[in-house]
Homo-oligomer: A and B are copies of this chain.
Amino acid sequence: MNDPRVTIRDVARAAGVSPAAVSKVLNDGYGVSAAMREKVMHAIAELGYRPNVTARAMRGRSHTVGVVADIRAPIVAQVVEGVQEGLRDSSLDVLLAPVGDAPERQRASIDTMINRNVEGLILIAPTLPYTALNTLGQSIPTVLIGRHGGGRHFDSVMDDDAAGAGLAVEHLAGLGHRRISHITMPTGRLRRPSVLPQTAREDGYVAAMRDHALEPDVITTDFTEEGGYAGALTALRRREPATAIFAGTDTVALGVLRAAHELGLRVPQDLSVVGADNIPVSALPQISLTTIDPAGKLNGSTSARLLRERIDGRLNPVTYAIAPSLVVRGTTAPSGSDR
């Protein structure tokens, strides 16, 4: 912490060895005697030496993994925690480049990381086109979280969102619901199979409905509370209104709850609602939303493991789909019930 910084030369002098020797000790290189290791370690502790990472980075290893994510999404905190956990014993530090909505900001943040010679990248729910990601993966170890479809030059970790949607439909159908609507959002320019969670959920919903011999009803708005409100009004003003709504995200579900309230519908007696993402709000007693839990931490730690393998030289792509779980809370009940 004190200026000027202690360098490897200072340590070497204090320990009476060469800088190269200190470097070897630090990188547990081949050919260091116990005696020397001891001397060097002592000098390091004595002087409070910490290697200058930028200098290290110039010779290949930057000891840094870059995470690019929109930190406004509550799940990101959990994912990052998982990443850190997965990197704990590895001498790799996690740095986060914050992005907002704009795709060009994503690019800029990725470049920020690459300019700093990060050893690998973890991108959370990137909206960049498939080809750009593939090109990126060719030049640097890359793992994608939450992007479906996989790719040739990067690893992918995601929740099995289609299966999650299946869980939701199964739960609702099991409660006797027949008219189950789904609210989703436009896919942007992304095309199947390289898509974000909402599209996979939509597909899973449609498939599950067909499996139960039910008619799918997909309403497309946007993923805000407002969007959920508007979507719910559509679903509930049909000639044969929905008795259950599977919302594409919890935030959307909150809008659905508000619409129901305004229309005088009781939840869950008159309308059942299922969300997705299990954001912190959903667990609040006032909300108590039945939802699909995305296992954010597990996504993070799995990504970290894959990235390390990739940094260590693996080239063939790996895809991990994590089984989601349904968290049953207070917004779902049997159809036509009045408990």
On A, residues with C-beta under 8 Å from B are 1-3, 50-55, 57-58, 62, 64, 71-72, 74, 76-77, 80-81, 84, 93-98, 100, 111-112, 114-117, 135-136, 138-139, 225, 254, 257-258, 261, 281, 284-287
Question: Which B residues touch A117, using CB under 8 A?
Answer: 52-54
Q: List 30 A-B contacts (CB under 8 A).
A: A1-B135, A1-B139, A3-B138, A50-B114, A50-B115, A52-B58, A53-B116, A53-B117, A54-B62, A54-B117, A71-B76, A71-B80, A71-B96, A72-B77, A74-B74, A77-B98, A84-B98, A94-B97, A95-B95, A95-B96, A95-B112, A96-B96, A116-B116, A254-B284, A254-B286, A261-B286, A281-B281, A281-B284, A286-B286, A286-B287
**Cβ B80 vs Cβ A98 within 8 A:** yes
Q: Which of A2, A72, A135 has the most CB of B within 10 A?
A: A72
How far does the alpha carbon of A285 sit from the alpha carbon of B261 in the complex, in Å?
10
Q: Which of A114, A115, A117 has the most CB of B within 10 A?
A: A115
**Cβ A53 vs Cβ B115 within 8 A:** yes
Nearest CB on B from A247, distance (A): 14
Nearest CB on B from A91, distance (A): 12
**Cβ A97 vs Cβ B98 within 8 A:** no
Closest 8 CB pairs of A and B: A54-B57, A96-B96, A72-B77, A53-B115, A54-B54, A93-B112, A258-B285, A71-B77
Question: Which B residues touch A62, using CB under 8 A?
Answer: 54
Nearest CB on B from A103, distance (A): 16
Question: Which B residues touch A97, using CB under 8 A?
Answer: 93-96
Residue of B nearest to A138 (CB): B3
How far does the alpha carbon of A80 sit from the alpha carbon of B76 in the complex, in Å?
15
Question: Which B residues touch A112, using CB under 8 A?
Answer: 93, 95
A71-B96, A80-B71 known; A284 and B51 CB under 8 Å?
Answer: no
In the complex this chain forms, how many copies of it are found?
2
Question: Which B residues touch A100, using CB under 8 A?
Answer: 81
Nearest CB on B from A38, distance (A): 24
Q: Which of A50, A98, A114, A257 has the most CB of B within 10 A?
A: A98
Question: Which B residues touch A3, using CB under 8 A?
Answer: 138-139
Question: Which B residues touch A98, using CB under 8 A?
Answer: 77, 80-81, 84, 94, 96
Nearest CB on B from A324, distance (A): 21
User: Residue A284 contacts which of B95, B115, B225 (CB distance < 8 angstroms)?
Assistant: B225
**Cβ A136 vs Cβ B1 within 8 A:** yes
Question: Which B residues touch A55, using CB under 8 A?
Answer: 54, 58
How far does the alpha carbon of A21 sit from the alpha carbon of B76 in the complex, in Å?
43
How far does the alpha carbon of A54 sit from the alpha carbon of B115 in the complex, in Å?
7
Residue of B nearest to A229 (CB): B285
**Cβ A139 vs Cβ B2 within 8 A:** yes
Residue of B nearest to A50 (CB): B115
How far does the alpha carbon of A135 sit from the alpha carbon of B284 in the complex, in Å?
41
**Cβ B58 vs Cβ A54 within 8 A:** yes
How far does the alpha carbon of A296 sit from the alpha carbon of B270 in the complex, in Å?
40
